[in-house]
Structure 1
Amino acid sequence: MLRIVDELAGPGPLRICAHAPADGDAGTGLRVLLIADVLARVVELRGRAVLVGWTGPAYSAAATGLRPADAEGDAAAIAEALGGPPGVHLTSGTYEGASSACLRIGEAALPPLDGLDPLAVRLLLLGHAYEEPVTATAGAIGEAAVTLSRWRRAVAHWAARPSKPIPADLKATARAALDGRLDTAAVLRLLEDLETTAEVPEGAKFETFSHLDRALGLELVREVGTV
């Protein structure tokens, strides 16, 4: 099993190559790029620079909060543009060209996304282990949008309270989940439990949600200052 800290540590930037499927499977392609985005965020949180390349069909960088690719094209063009071969590949199938680490991403069947919140799509997909297939409905994406809205209001409320440090046990649990296997679903469960517990000060809830959102990319602090 890929361990981010143990297997992707090293000098210089980490080069990531995300291979969106070329068969027009937009849901799976979007998921491959999403997991590459989260991987980049987690590695950057550990203090290492990251460069990301995409092969296959292009997607809007604005979709589900993806940051723009540093390079696009075939694998050889990406390696040249990024200054060296990728250290990790992400693909929905078997990538024969990888002599380094490779994550296989499960398929994602999505409904038409017109009129749906793209960050709610991101939340729904991150609620599943990256290797498991996901079938999403418009209703499920709508429920995810409700959760996002509630969390953003809560974070805005907590932001007005005295700041408190992130509880050490929560920080360690979240870091182990992300570093071990990009277990975003475990991190989301942690946030769900934290939202309603009375044992953690509201200022610490704010710091925890805002810190972990740097990996999740859900714009949870969007409404801070508006309430």
Structure 2
Amino acid sequence: MLRLHDHRTGRAEEVARGPLRVHVAAGADRALIVADLLRRVAERTGRRPVVVTRAEGVEPSAYGFSDLNLPDFPVAPAPASDTAVFVGPAPGPGLSVVVPDAAPAGDDPLCLRLGVLRVRYREPADLAAAAERARDDLSRWRGLMAEWARSPGRPMDPTYAARGQDALADDLNSPAALATLDRLAEDPDVAPGAKLETFIHLDLLLGLDLVSQIGSA
């Protein structure tokens, strides 16, 4: 079940099942990253297809789409469908993911992406501070994954995988999903191989390229 905060009711509401249209109506880096997170989570909860479009002029401010692990969402008019979700700094005509605008920060696009995910999408964000913390987190997680990859393979841990997925499906609670990674990394009762597979599984939703140091010297 995917739930999103509905500004019209002030509550998190279940998103109707079935195909989903997501339209980034305004904003830049933060709105695009949140739209991509919504796409990934919606697809994982079984919705097909999930189509993301953007208004003319909505694009990353300092990087290319691929630098931020984003598809190049096509430019299109706002959809008229009742099932569409609008993303931007202001509410759209229906169900909206309202993302306060924030200035870009940092010289590493994936630090920016993680910085965005460190803050609930509906809250104001200091991306400079979040991106600075993200640099250390990315380095630590990638180093751990490279270390775990040298251990015997194990299936992913279903408990931690479910916690991360459930957090993201509950109004895109990315800070809680990231906290799940931290708890998993420190859990002595989970084998390294299982930690690796679970990190990979959740990173398919988060889009942080955490496997980048596996196999490096």
Provide structure 2 residue ranges, at least 5 long, that are not aligned to the other structure: 5-12
CA contact (8 A) 1:164 1:204 kept: yes
Q: Of 152, 166, 169, which aligns to 2:156?
A: 166
Alignment of 1:37 with 2:40, yes or no, is no
Q: 1:126 aligns with which of 111, 117, 132?
A: 117
SS at match of 1:142: helix
**Cα displacement string for residues 64-105 of structure 1 (whole angstroms, at most 9, x for unaligned residues):** 221110x20432xxx49xxx676211121122x33xx22111
Number of residues of Structure 1 aligned to a counterpart in Structure 2: 203
| Structure 1 ranges of 4+ moved more than 4 A | none
Give the deviation of 1:159 after TM superposition. 1.8
Structure 2: how far apart are the matches of 1:222 and 1:45?
A: 23
Letter in 2 for 1:120: C
2:197 aligned to which of 207, 210, 226 = 207
- Structure 2 counterparts to residues 1-227 of structure 1, below 5 A: 3=3, 6-10=14-18, 13-21=19-27, 29-47=28-46, 48-57=48-57, 58-59=59-60, 60-69=64-73, 71-75=74-78, 79=79, 87-95=84-92, 97-98=93-94, 101-111=95-105, 113=106, 116-137=107-128, 140-227=130-217
The CA distance in 2 between the partners of 1:8 and 1:163, in whole Å, is 38
TM-score relative to the length of structure 2: 0.84
Q: Any idea what the Cα deviations from partners look like across 1:14-50, whole Å, max 9, x if unmatched?
A: 22111124xxxxxxx2111110000111122233332
| Offset at residue 143 of structure 1 (A) | 3.1
Q: Which has the higher helix share?
A: 1
- The alpha carbon displacement at 1:123 in A equals 0.6
Quote how far apart the aligned CAs of 1:6 are: 4.1
Question: Structure 1 residues 105, 204: CA separation in 2 closer, same or farther (over 3 Å shift)?
Answer: same
- Name the TM-score, length of structure 1 as normaliser: 0.80
How far off its partner does 1:207 sit? 0.8
Name the SS for the 1:206 alignment partner: helix
3-state secondary structure, aligned to 1:16: strand
Q: Secondary structure at the match of 1:198?
A: coil
Alignment partners' CA distance in 2, 1:209 and 1:9: 27
Amino acid across the alignment from 1:40: R
Query: Using a 3 Å threshold, how does the CA distance of structure 1 residues 6 and 166 change in structure 2: closer, same or farther?
Result: farther
The percentage of aligned residue pairs carrying the same residue is 34
Gaps of 5+ in 1: 22-28
Work out whether residues 20 and 33 of structure 1, in 8 Å CA contact, stay in contact via their aligned partners in 2: no
